[in-house]
Structure 1
Amino acid sequence: MPIAGLQFDKILVEKLKPLEAPLKINSNLSIKDVSKEDASVKGNACVRFDFVFGLDYTPKQANVELKGHLLFMEKEKEVDSILAEWKKTKKVAPALLEQVLNAVLVKCNIKALLLSQELGLPPHIRMPTLANKSGASNYLG
């Protein structure tokens, strides 16, 4: 079943002092809680994944924190199974976790990139660049 939505509940961006070298950017993503939400589709329910995404510009120069939740719609029986596993082990099936974390990472990386740019912070992900290859042909495509 599909991801029904992803929403931010808290956005915090702080530049604690002017940036100095050496600068290291550490990122972290964690699932804090998994709970059930009712869906408007009969026989289905939503699993709510509460997450926290963070960037730390060390040593203590700036930070970005994004808290939010992702809703994943599934059959009622499957939702109960996911919740039972979470309550028992605080883990989620690897295939589901991969799907959830990838969706969260895409949204959080884009949001963090925009927010860090507003404060004049360097990007936390490597941006694509063009490189001129020596001996390249004059093909214009």
Structure 2
Amino acid sequence: MKVIGFNLEEISAKKPNEFKRSNISTDVTFNEVDKSKLDVLKDNETIKASFKFQVSYKDADNKNELKNEVTITGSLLLMVTKDESKEFIKAWKNKKLPEDKMLGLYNFILRKCSVRALQLEEELGLQPHIPFPQVKAQQQSQKTN
């Protein structure tokens, strides 16, 4: 399996409320998995997997209340063998992905969408959903002779 296409279809970010303490969660869900036709590939098949990436900001005191969010929807185009194609379609009948492919696809989407989400969070003044590395000064120790 190889990712041969990555398309963003919708990007939205909402900051209707100002609040200090929040619980931030990131979620990736797959909405649809279908065979796709690409004439260039003769020996392989293609699968189109539609996804939704969402960063939710919920009030720390009332975890059920959604305050702010960043949502990105899109699709992946995957080049797969005929056996892999059957495996994807069979797994999707239960709204799942093949176990051996799932981790790689989630990581690919997280890598691509997290960068875009961080840009939106910066522009809207939202807390970043992933921590940035920080440089700290080292304390110098006193040497005694």
Secondary structure of 2:35's aligned partner = strand
Q: TM-score, normalised by structure 1?
A: 0.86
* Gap runs ≥5 in structure 1: 137-141
Q: 1:104 aligns with which of 96, 105, 109?
A: 109
Q: TM-score, normalised by structure 2?
A: 0.84
What's the counterpart of residue 56 of structure 1?
56
What's the counterpart of residue 21 of structure 1?
20
State the AA in 1 paired with 2:118.
L
What's the counterpart of residue 4 of structure 1?
4
8 Å CA contact 2:87–2:98 kept in 1: the answer is: no
2:64 counterpart of 1:65: no
Deviation digits for residues 29-73 of structure 1, max 9, x if unmatched?
A: 111111111122102111111111111222333211111111111
Counting matched residue pairs gives 134
State the AA in 2 paired with 1:66.
I
State the AA in 2 paired with 1:81.
E
- Which whole-Å CA distance do the structure 1 matches of 2:99 and 2:138 have between them? 41
* Gap runs ≥5 in structure 2: 60-65
Alignment RMSD: 1.6
- Which whole-Å CA distance do the structure 1 matches of 2:136 and 2:8 have between them? 37
State the AA in 2 paired with 1:114.
Q
Secondary structure of 1:61's aligned partner = strand
2:79 counterpart of 1:85: no
State the AA in 2 paired with 1:131.
K
